[in-house]
């Protein structure tokens, strides 16, 4: 498979939004399923693209996944500190999993971070259930940073997000 990682085109936003929403839904990562308020955020790629660099993985003219790269603590950053870039909303279409799509997207974000002047690290948040993603991050050199774990919805005590960081 000839995989190309590149910036998302506006004409691909809807497809990437659906890939992202379906990935979270099918993996059981949204507490309220189709009624989860976060589902709208996952589908809103145009909003992400206004505040971050949205990358897609494409092959054979089809989008297979995507990620938001937030350089230097941009407006979409949740946990990035000064001198860090953040990876958000990594998603791969179910039929494309296991083919290196997620890894290629993460590697592209790391390379972009290395090109940002003053960037010393990359951080990301992940859910406990995303074990396959954890293995990918660890294989690429990311390390758990439990002191940075956080809860985006404090009223939801069981929604602690795990954090990983990579020193560049």
**Digit-coded pLDDT (tens) for 93-126:** 999 999 999 999 999 999 999 999 999 999 999 9
What domain count does the chain have?
1
Tens of pLDDT, residue by residue over 16-70, are 999 999 999 998 888 778 988 889 999 999 999 999 999 999 999 999 999 999 9
Cut 0.85: pTM above it: yes
pLDDT at 82: 95
Its domain, for residue 31, covers 4-167
Which CATH number covers residue 126?
Answer: 3.40.630.30
* Secondary structure of the chain as H, E, C letters: CCCEEEECCHHHHHHHHHHHHHHHHHCCCCCCHHHCCHHHHHHCHHHHHHHCEEEEEEECCEEEEEEEEEHHHCCCCCCCCCCEEEEEEEEECHHHCCCCHHHHHHHHHHHHHHHCCCCCEEEEEECCCCHHHHHHHHHCCCEECHHHCECCCCCCCCCCEEEEEEEC
């Amino acid at each position: 498979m000839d995989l190309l990682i590149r910036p998302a085109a506006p004409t691909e936003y809807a497809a990437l939004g659906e890939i992202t929403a379906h990935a979270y839904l099918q993996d059981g990562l949204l507490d309220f399923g189709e009624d989860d308020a976060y589902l709208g955020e996952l589908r809103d790629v145009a909003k992400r693209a206004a505040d971050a660099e949205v990358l897609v993985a494409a092959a054979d003219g089809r989008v297979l996944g995507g990620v938001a790269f937030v350089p230097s603590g941009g407006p979409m950053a949740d946990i990035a500190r000064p001198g860090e870039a953040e990876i958000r909303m990594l998603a791969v279409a179910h039929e494309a999993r296991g083919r290196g799509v997620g890894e290629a997207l993460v590697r592209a974000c790391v390379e972009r971070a290395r090109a940002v002047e003053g960037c010393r690290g990359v951080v990301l948040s992940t859910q406990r259930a995303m074990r396959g993603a954890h293995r990918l991050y660890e294989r690429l050199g990311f390390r758990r940073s439990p002191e940075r774990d956080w809860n985006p919805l404090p009223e939801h005590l069981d929604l602690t997000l795990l954090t990983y960081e990579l020193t560049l």
